[in-house]
Amino acid sequence: MALKLSPAVLILIATVLIVVLPGLVLPSPYYYRVGALVFISALAVIGLNLLMGYAGQVSLGHAGFFAIGAYGTAILPAQLGWPPLLAAATGVVLAAALAFAIGRPILRLRGQHLAVATLGIGMLITMVLNAEVAITGGPDGMAVARATVFGFKLRAPETWYWISGGLLILGVVAALNLLNSPTGRALRALHDSEVAAEVLGIDVTRYKLVVFVAASVYAAVAGAALALFSGHVTPDVGSFLRSVEFVTMAVIGGLGSILGSIVGAAVLVILPQVLTVFQEYETLVLGVMIILFMIFLRGGIVPGLAARLTARLTP
């Protein structure tokens, strides 16, 4: 019998290769920095994809939870003298607790209504970050204490490349495990038919809350990593634009595709860097490319390419 790898294992192998291969050959700290940003964004987008792509619940406030992770990591050491890593973990717990508290009333909404409600949450969070100048530094943001592990300060881009790459791999493993479990099937089921899911004994309300909290944890872990990596946070990390960017990454890469989340994040982080050669036309070219992606690879880059490939392979 031939060795047959499950799709989940193939996705995991691809992720490990995406992290490890560039990591061995990148020429300068600048590239490691971009790589780390790709992985951090991808982690947040995987969370959003679980919520939007798999469970079908829209969020336009994902960056709000990203910001809670980032600011928890920044504020607790500055105000209370906590070690940065403990602060990061606490930020993640806070994001999860907030998602749990507001998830129940909000997830009763559907479609555009849910989109607008989550947008409101994101706006509230950035509003607080902007207004509480004494604690958050207001619009200028605040410095983040560097994390130390065994007396070793984590600051080199290369170090953060490997840390965020490792977090991404962990995030992919957890997402794949979840998706191929009773919980994952419940999430995908309620996306296609809530009524059929209920009739099979699936507590739809509970699972919507579960995936909302899970998405917020992914976002907050990514936000905490960004804060520790960049050493400075501003309310921009939680802005509406950032939420839209996460949605765009998820959609361009492919809703309902874990690899798509990584590819979508890579495209939107790397392209603007490459397109600086177009100078003032940079944004224009980026916009046109996004439109072309959506037209020619409907369903996103990864599912779109996969569909074309299978169409070519099967006569």
Q: To the nearest whole angstrom, how small is the minimum distance from the Cβ of residue 204 to other proteins? A: 8
Number of residues that bind other proteins (CB under 8 A): 27
Identify which of 39, 13, 15, 79 has the alpha carbon closest to the alpha carbon of residue 161. 39
Show the site string, 156-195: x = touches other proteins by CB under 8 A, - = not: ------------------x--xx-xxxxxxx-xx-xxx-x
Q: How much of the chain is in helix, strand and coil states, percent to nearest 5?
A: 80, 5, 15
Identify which of 215, 244, 5, 232 has the alpha carbon closest to the alpha carbon of residue 141. 232
Out of 196, 284, 292, 307, which residue is the one contacting other proteins (CB under 8 A)?
196
Show the site string, 62-101: x = touches other proteins by CB under 8 A, - = not: ----------------------------------------
Identify which of 54, 73, 72, 28 has the alpha carbon closest to the alpha carbon of residue 229. 73
User: What type of residue is 64?
Assistant: G
Q: To the nearest whole angstrom, how small is the minimum distance from the Cβ of residue 297 to other proteins? A: 18
Task: Check residue 6 for interaction with other proteins (CB under 8 A).
Answer: no
Q: To the nearest whole angstrom, how small is the minimum distance from the Cβ of residue 315 to other proteins? A: 18
Q: Which residues does residue 142 pair with via DSSP β-bridges, in sequence order?
A: 233
Instruction: Let me know: does 211 contact 57? Beta carbons within 8 Å.
Output: yes
User: What type of residue is 144?
Assistant: V
Judged by CB under 8 A, the chain residues 247 through 306 that form the site for other proteins are 256
Task: Check residue 210 for interaction with other proteins (CB under 8 A).
Answer: yes
Extract the runs of DSSP E, i.e. beta strands, from the chain.
142-143, 148-149, 152-153, 232-233
Task: Check residue 199 for interaction with other proteins (CB under 8 A).
Answer: yes
Provide the binding-site residues for other proteins, judged by CB under 8 A. 174, 177-178, 180-186, 188-189, 191-193, 195-204, 210, 256
